[in-house]
Amino acid sequence: MKATVAIVDDEEHLREAVGEYLELQGFEVLSYRNAQAFREDSVGKTIDVAILDVAMPGEDGLSLARFIRKTGGTGIIMATAAGRPIDRIVGLEIGADDYLVKPYELRELLARIKSVLRRVKAAPATAATPAPAAPEGRSLRFGALTLDLDARRLTDSGRGPIELTAMEFDLLQALATRPNRVLSRGQLQEFAHGRTVDESDRSIDIRVTRLRKKIEPDPEHPRFIKTVRGEGYVFVPSGA
């Protein structure tokens, strides 16, 4: 089946150009001029990836991203204007899977869509559909948590399944499979997301903060994901 990509952007010429290109690449494309049109038309439809313009008139892309994240497992790519890092930061904080700076190259967009699709398709099953148990050696346990690498699922023995975005799972897996080893931000971007970035990029810090809120008993005093000042992060499975 064709993957379905939704484009939500108030620039008509951009929607047309992107839509035509993605259709040629084999995608089903849905095009919306604003967030309201998306909300009204997307009910009951399966959308694999949504490309959201941040600075739309009316409801902006960040607000729409919150709505999408609450209502399903659609992958989200935020399109932000150059020189507005705050948009990227907020987008990552609310669970966007990736971001692009406008104007972007269509080939880069295609690569990002394919990357997000791989994560979305491998995302954990819902609590109503338990995933099969992983073979021995494919589950990692720390504290009350079990990270199932094959099912891509994190479970708390007391609270049950913990919802993670695809990028959060990738980051936790990169850390947990390299215990007691200091990893720089650049290494984590490469291990988790297959992307080489400048060490000054702080998007990893945002995801670490979000992960800590989900896995740490006290996020202000983390036991598992510890900061190594000036170096990066280290995962300590013992919680010592």
Does residue 128 lie in a domain region?
no
104 or 197: which leads in pLDDT: 104
Q: What is the CA radius of gyration of the chain?
A: 18
Query: Residue 168 contacts by C-beta under 8 Å, 6 or more apart in sequence?
Result: 207, 210, 211, 214
pLDDT confidence bin for 188, thresholds 50/70/90: confident
> Residue 37 has what pLDDT?
95
> Residue 134 has what pLDDT?
38
pLDDT confidence bin for 88, thresholds 50/70/90: low
The per-residue pLDDT of the chain, averaged, comes to: 83
pLDDT tens-digit series, residues 122-144: 554 433 333 333 334 478 999 99
Q: CA nearest 149: which of 126, 175, 183?
A: 175
> Which of 121, 154, 182 is the endpoint of a domain?
121
Residue 93's domain comprises: 4-121
Residue 93 has pLDDT above 70, yes or no: no
Residue 83 has pLDDT above 70, yes or no: no
Q: CA nearest 211: which of 122, 74, 92, 77?
A: 92
- Partners of 52 in the beta sheet? 8, 78
pLDDT confidence bin for 47, thresholds 50/70/90: very high
Query: Residue 80 contacts by C-beta under 8 Å, 6 or more apart in sequence?
Result: 54, 55, 87, 88, 91, 99, 100, 101, 102
Note whether 143 and 111 are same-domain residues: no
Note whether 34 and 102 are same-domain residues: yes
- Looking at residue 114, which CATH number applies to its domain? 3.40.50.2300
93 or 99: which leads in pLDDT: 99
pLDDT tens-digit series, residues 202-216: 778 888 999 999 999
